[in-house]
Chain A
């Protein structure tokens, strides 16, 4: 779910935007910096909601821009533990199910968090749930699935070294900066079509 977080930051207003009202140039600069980004231990920033306080701009010798401290609120996507979300299955493997939302891909349901008596069928690449002997319910790729958030994982991502950026070296950090672990074990979870 989305929340509003209050942040403060020092923003450089480039000189070519001095002719437009400062609220606009500030919002643009903040959006450039934060929109579609992850702040460690906070969540996934969508966009700026509003500006609360704009301090006077400061100048630095040798720089034409003005530096403005601003207090603002932004929309952050941060699901809480226990929240129920609906997404799409993007991949099934023996380890578990990968789920994606339209804007966020790093959701994983490990096999220990899937229904009991649920088995993976490698041939069909699908997880199959057998609530009783006869019925077989398939969790296929691209199916709409409902799940519960169990854990959120933030990883501090270091900037790429120049050699990694050129592709000479294997990137050292492969883990996504923000990932979710989810479960699919209780009534109402699993494919949406099962329960309607």
Chain B
């Protein structure tokens, strides 16, 4: 074995998760009860689980997917939103690794953003930093806890309305 290039490029957690999900699908692995049910309900003949690649890959796929599901990256649901955030961040004078860390941990408060970006207070004024957080909240809204339940429901109702509209259009 020879190492030709130690770091060809960086990957974000999201990209890794997508890659591993493809692998999981390809090999028909099931890691949770829901997966299991889905697998059993699958009417197609494609029920065979492949193991030619060894157990280790299955273990690491399960663990990394669990890690990503527990991390803040789990809220990224579509490549389009991911792209939009990247385009937005490109407008800032940020290092590549800093952008990547923002994408990976999606800071929701000033103090976490300051922890990720070195000398953030000198490089960006408060407004600019706040705009990053606002953008993240706008693209990937977090479900607030009980106190704002009503708002959430209203939001959901709106979403349903939207769904119906799109369905009509189709």
- Whether the pair B7, A3 counts as a contact (CB closer than 8 A) is yes
B91: interface (CB < 8 Å): no
Q: How far is the CB of A187 from chain B (nearest CB, A)?
A: 5
Report which of B7, B56, B97 forms a contact with A35, defined as CB distance below 8 A: B56
Q: How far is the CB of A191 from chain B (nearest CB, A)?
A: 12
- Whether the pair B53, A27 counts as a contact (CB closer than 8 A) is yes
Residues of chain A within 8 A of B67, CB atoms compared: 101-103
Residue of A nearest to B11 (CB): A2
Max chain B Cβ within 10 angstroms of own Cβ: one of A2, A7, A37, A101: A2
Report which of A9, A17, A28, A80 forms a contact with B97, defined as CB distance below 8 A: A80
Which of B27-66 touch A at CB < 8 Å?
Answer: 52-54, 56-57, 59-61, 63-64, 66
B20: interface (CB < 8 Å): yes
Report which of B19, B56, B114 forms a contact with A187, defined as CB distance below 8 A: B114
Residues of chain B within 8 A of A37, CB atoms compared: 56
A171: interface (CB < 8 Å): no
- Whether the pair B19, A47 counts as a contact (CB closer than 8 A) is yes
Distance in angstroms between the alpha carbons of A196 and B106 in the assembled complex? 12
Residues of chain B within 8 A of A71, CB atoms compared: 4
Secondary structure call for the B interface? helix
Q: How far is the CB of B106 from chain A (nearest CB, A)?
A: 11
Max chain B Cβ within 10 angstroms of own Cβ: one of A47, A86, A186, A187: A47
B71: interface (CB < 8 Å): yes
* A 55-95 to B, binary, CB cutoff 8 A, 1 in contact else 0: 00000000000000001010100001001101000000000
Report which of B63, B72, B109, B112 forms a contact with A103, defined as CB distance below 8 A: B63
* A 173-196 to B, binary, CB cutoff 8 A, 1 in contact else 0: 000000000000011110000011
Q: How far is the CB of B82 from chain A (nearest CB, A)?
A: 15
Report which of B10, B13, B63 forms a contact with A3, defined as CB distance below 8 A: B10
Residues of chain B within 8 A of A17, CB atoms compared: 52
- Whether the pair A4, B115 counts as a contact (CB closer than 8 A) is no
- Whether the pair B4, A28 counts as a contact (CB closer than 8 A) is no
- Whether the pair A46, B60 counts as a contact (CB closer than 8 A) is yes
B129: interface (CB < 8 Å): no
Which of B6-23 touch A at CB < 8 Å?
Answer: 6-13, 15-16, 19-20, 23
Residues of chain B within 8 A of A196, CB atoms compared: 108-109
Given contacts A2-B11, A5-B6, contact A46 B64 (CB under 8 A): yes
- Whether the pair A8, B4 counts as a contact (CB closer than 8 A) is yes
Residues of chain B within 8 A of A47, CB atoms compared: 19-20, 23, 57, 60-61
Q: Which residues of A contact B (CB under 8 A)?
A: 1-9, 17, 27-28, 31-32, 35-37, 39, 42, 46-47, 49, 71, 73, 75, 80, 83-84, 86, 101-103, 146, 148, 186-189, 195-196
What are 27 A-B interface contacts by the 8 Å CB criterion?
Answer: A1-B12, A1-B101, A2-B10, A2-B16, A3-B8, A3-B10, A4-B10, A5-B3, A8-B2, A9-B1, A27-B53, A31-B56, A31-B57, A32-B53, A35-B53, A36-B57, A47-B61, A75-B11, A80-B97, A83-B97, A84-B105, A102-B70, A103-B64, A186-B115, A189-B115, A195-B111, A196-B108
